[in-house]
Amino acid sequence: SFVSMAAAPMLTKLQQDCATPLPVLRNVASSMSDDIRAGLAVDGGSDLKMILSYVDSLPTGDEKGLFYALDLGGTNFRVLRVELGGKDKRVIAIESDQVSIPQELMSATSEELFDFIASALANFANKGGNFPGKKGEIGFTFSFPVKQTSIDSGILIKWTKGFAVSGTAGKDVVACLNEAMDRKGIDMRVSALVNDTVATLAGARYWDDDVMVAVILGTGTNACYVERMDCIPKLQGEFSPSGRTIVNLEWGAFSKGLPLTVFDRDMDAASINPGEQIFEKTISGMYLGEIARRALLHMAEEGSLFGKSVPEKLSMPFVLGTPDLSTMQQDGTEDLHTVGSVLYNVAGVESDLSSRKIVLEVCDTIVKRAARLAGAGIVGILQKIEEDTEDAIFGKRTVVAMDGGLYERYPQYRRYLKEAVAELLGPETSQNIVIEHSKDGSGIGAALLAATNSKYG
């Protein structure tokens, strides 16, 4: 057998360092609540930015008409058109298209990028003939850091995710898109600028009035919830008729009370943003495979997990992806041959049954910690809402809308997350808290926010 006796105590050590017993989860949940309060009090008051979305009227189901959504958050952008028929008919028709952004445009000028987007939108709008009689209104989901100044304006702070477009930083991205549409003679306007988490909440709320929180668990992670305006000291200006607004936590930046290992610290130190986004680095899809790889490499080097020599590819950062962990954890074969082939194909690792079993334990440890901490974060948000007594939610049905590839495609992650929430809330309350997958709610959510914030009625 490959596995030397040295690997077993290393696994035990990893499990201890990653343990998330109830007291650890309780502490994370209450730190999340505290950080939410501190971030609502004053800008810069906590790790959590608590960004005001300016979305203060949520979809009711009564929305009618043809609306568009445009989603720019990576190397693809999506356009969507939905025809809303009001309370009974709801969604009459929906069409969408995906356009990939040519590499050269990611480092072009602002005008070039937005002209490309405007043209693609016009092509899509002209297809199918169902063109609106009045100006087409767009909900624009823009997943880069912006300083929002109203529901339909926001200043780009900086491009991320490989974009290096010149001339947009410091400008209003809505104005950039509106100007591009003017240049091209396109009769469409942005009515709502939103973050993807906010759009997910709006999309889920359209179908279900009890949705209060939305969480994205994909490559990265974020959360938002419906807050009372009188609970936001830093909010200046008038309260909306609803008295409520969506607040975007930017919760990836949370950092308190997390059980971290040497592998987390080393990964953070080697990252492009050391010391930042610690919660995101512990719970989101971009990182779980890499944490596991670092643990396995250590066990191979110091514990001869895969025999005397250490497979070379295992030293390459990010060779092991979170989808690989998920694939291995679904292996139901007696000899764990899926685990064996994933290890061989992605990392050039030859393994036997006993080393495969250890690999699975490592995956489970990393994923269990991630999912339970995400669950504790959700409970932190719910507790914050609950403590504002008028909004008591624990005694009635309350929905948390979930989306993102990690949540959607990693069954163990989903199960561990739900278990942690139930442990924290107790059997009675957890019956009222529904954690629900809201698939692709963000596209329709953005279109709905264009409808609820319509400029033309």
Kindly name the residue from 87, 89, 134, 161 that is annotated as catalytic.
Answer: 161
* 218 binding ligand ADP? (CB under 6 A): yes
The span of 42-50, 259-267, 375-383, 406-414 binding ligand ADP (CB under 6 A) equals 406-414
Q: Does 219 bind ligand ADP (CB under 6 A)?
A: yes
**Out of 323, 344, 348, 440, which residue is the one contacting ligand ADP (CB under 6 A)?**
323
Minimum distance from CB of 173 to ligand ADP (Å)?
Answer: 18
Which range of residues in 54-62, 105-113, 251-259, 400-408 is near ligand ADP by CB under 6 A?
400-408
Q: Do the beta carbons of residue 153 and residue 103 sit within 8 Å?
A: no
| Distance of closest approach, residue 220 Cβ to ligand ADP, in angstroms | 6
- Rounded to 5°, the CA angle 38-42-46 comes to 40
Bridge-based pairing of strands 221-228 and 244-248 is: antiparallel
* 326: contact with ligand ADP by CB under 6 A: yes
| Tokens encoding 355 | 């080393």
The distance of Cα 40 from the centroid of its chain, to the nearest Å, equals 21
How many alpha carbons lie under 13 Å from residue 280 in its C-beta half-sphere? 22
Cβ closer to ligand ADP: 152 or 364? 364
396 a catalytic residue: no
Distance between CA atoms of 78 and 99, rounded to whole angstroms?
A: 6
Answer for which of 303, 404, 441, 445 binds ligand ADP (CB under 6 A) is 404
Please state the closest distance from residue 327 (CB atom) to ligand ADP, in A.
7
CA 62 to chain centre: 28
Compute the least distance from the CB of residue 218 to ligand ADP, in Å.
Answer: 2
Nearest to 343 by CA among 366, 363, 365, 371: 363
Assigned token pair, 406: 């990690």
Task: Note whether 106 and 163 are within 8 A (CB).
Answer: yes
- CB of 3 or CB of 378, closer to ligand ADP: 378
Q: How far is the CB of 454 from ligand ADP (least distance, A)?
A: 27
Q: Containing H/E element for 95?
A: strand 91-100
Size of the residue set binding ligand ADP (CB under 6 A): 15
Give catalytic status of residue 134 as yes or no.
no
User: 291: which residues sit within 8 A by CB, 6+ positions away?
Assistant: 261, 263, 264, 267, 366
Site string for ligand ADP, 46-75 (x = CB under 6 A): ---------------------------xx-
Q: Which span sits near ligand ADP by CB under 6 A: 111-119, 182-190, 243-251, 404-412?
A: 404-412
Q: Provide DSSP, 318-380.
A: T-S-HHHHHHHHT---TT-HHHHHHHHHHH-----HHHHHHHHHHHHHHHHHHHHHHHHHHHH
The residues in 129-158 that bind ligand ADP, with binding defined as CB under 6 A, are none
Q: Which helix (H) or strand (E) holds 205?
A: helix 196-207
Taking CB under 6 A as the rule, does residue 329 contact ligand ADP?
A: no
Q: Which of 47, 115, 196, 324 is catalytic?
A: 196
Question: Given the rule CB under 6 A, which of 48-56, 214-222, 248-256, 310-318 is the region that contacts ligand ADP?
Answer: 214-222
User: How is residue 139 written in tokens?
Assistant: 């909900």
- Element housing 191 (H / E): strand 188-194
The answer to whether residue 406 forms part of the interface with ligand ADP (CB under 6 A) is yes
Q: Which of residues 265-304 bind ligand ADP (CB under 6 A)?
A: 285-286
Check binding of 410 to ligand ADP (CB under 6 A): yes
Between CA 420 and CA 167 the distance in angstroms is 45
Residues carrying an active site annotation: 161, 196
Binding site for ligand ADP (CB under 6 A): 73-74, 218-220, 285-286, 322-323, 326, 404-406, 409-410
